[in-house]
Amino acid sequence: MHYINKKLLINKVSVNKIVKQIGTPSYVYSYNLLRENILKFKKNFKKINPLICFAVKANNNIKILNEISRLGLGADVVSMGELMAALKAKIDPKKIVFSGVGKTYEEIMFAVKKKILLINAESKSEIEVILKVAKKFNTRINIGLRLNPNVDALTIKEITTGKQINKFGLSDNEVIEFIKLYKNSKLVSIKCLSVHIGSQITSHIPYLKMLNAIQKIINKSNYSFEYIDLGGGMGINYGKNIKLLNYKKYADQILKFITKNNAKIIFEPGRSIVGNAGFLVSKIIYIKKTKKVNFIILDAGMNDLMRPALYKAYHRIIPAVKSRIKIFKRHDFVGPVCETTDKFLSVKSYQKLNEGDNVIICDVGAYGKVLSSNYNLRSKASEILIKNSKILRIKKKENLKTII
């Protein structure tokens, strides 16, 4: 992404050209960045040789999933819909894991029929349902036990999942009890111990604590798991100067762990694979100047991108065409939705903007489009993939009449 003659290009394609062809608001993904992220992820954990299961909840566009599959990744799914999407995108079922606290009987049955790698169970009641399904199909189902290691991921509380107070996973005592109960079961085979402690994690310390918690379970139970699923959570740089995760320290510790325990590692990254590869292109409908604030009213709203309203998440906004003129007044970039929280960003100054200009909200490839809704009866945005300097429409903008 760079400017030539003041005009912004994404992988050599001008944003204004994309807007002319596709319109706004549009999610635009860069194939190059997606590929680069995957290669980097693989390189960071090369010595570990993990199975990398992309967390489909971060981005479920079939074309994106298909590209991810072609780059060798599997999938982590949390619903029948995500599992269907992963399969449609030609992801190998033997590279699919199923997480989530509320899998229904139908969902478990579907997953078993599709012969996926693992179902990571999160409660005793869920295991009982899995046993029922196994009986019905007269088969032995491969499961993982998801541990809640009671570790603080040191991220925002809304996306923390590994503390005792959170709904996810089983306590250490429960895991040990269930290993005893089910290790000789003819209906389930405990293949994996899984964890996922949170998202947008930027310190390696919580991950090390998590590994210690896993080691304790292995020592106490004296059970050897074929797989250890370490979840995802790796944070990305949203443009504020923050320290990022030290992959080397994390990878070194995992290496020590597998030398000792001889298990295959699974990761479930979402954000680190697609986060910075997505951009939301939006047009300025109006500029409303009040005494204190210039409201830049965009045609994208909180229904298109929820993260700022939901988590006060920070996303950079950059202009499609650069100007040298700077306006020293507070600018609030807002959407057209009738909610005060429909606000993307507030800055003290910004370059001169005009109604009709296009701006780009950055780093929205993960948890962007997937969290969008029809609130205010607005249709969901289109999605575009830039690959080999070509503009590929990978999802049409929803048709209002169809939704209505």
Q: What are phi and psi of 122, to 5 degrees?
A: -125, 0
Binding site for ligand LLP (CB under 6 A): 55, 57-58, 76, 99, 159, 161, 196, 199-200, 231-234, 268-272, 307, 311, 366-367
Q: Identify whether 269 is preceded by a cis peptide bond (ω within 30 of 0).
A: no
Question: Least distance from C-beta 291 to ligand LLP, angstroms?
Answer: 34
**Least distance in Å: CB of 376 to ligand LLP?**
21
Q: Which of 53, 192, 338, 362 is catalytic?
A: 338
- Look up residue 198 and give its DSSP letter: B
28 vs 97, which CB is nearer to ligand LLP? Answer: 97
Exposure of 131 by Cβ count < 10 A (0-12 exposed, 13-18 middle, 19+ buried)? middle
E strand spans, 251-349: 264-267, 278-289, 293-298, 317-319, 326-327, 330-334, 343-347
The least CB distance from residue 45 to ligand LLP, in Å, is 13
- 3-state SS of 6-38 is CEEEECCEEHHHHHHHHCCCEEEEEHHHHHHHH
Backbone angles phi, psi at 34, to 5 degrees: -60, -50
Alpha helix ranges (H) inside 121-241? 124-137, 172-182, 205-221
Nearer to ligand LLP, 99 or 358 (CB): 99
Query: Does the annotation count 338 as an active-site position?
Result: yes
Nearest approach, Cβ of 385 to ligand LLP (angstroms)?
Answer: 20
* Paired strand residues for 361: 280, 317
Nearer to ligand LLP, 27 or 367 (CB): 367
* Contact of 275 with 310, CB cutoff 8 Å: no
Residue 86 beta carbon to ligand LLP: minimum distance, rounded to whole angstroms: 14
Residue 272 structure tokens: 């680190």
176 — phi, psi (to 5°)?
-65, -40
Task: Give whichever of 30 and 99 is closer to ligand LLP, judged by the CB atom.
Answer: 99
Q: How far is the CB of 206 from ligand LLP (least distance, A)?
A: 12
Q: Catalytic positions, please?
A: 338
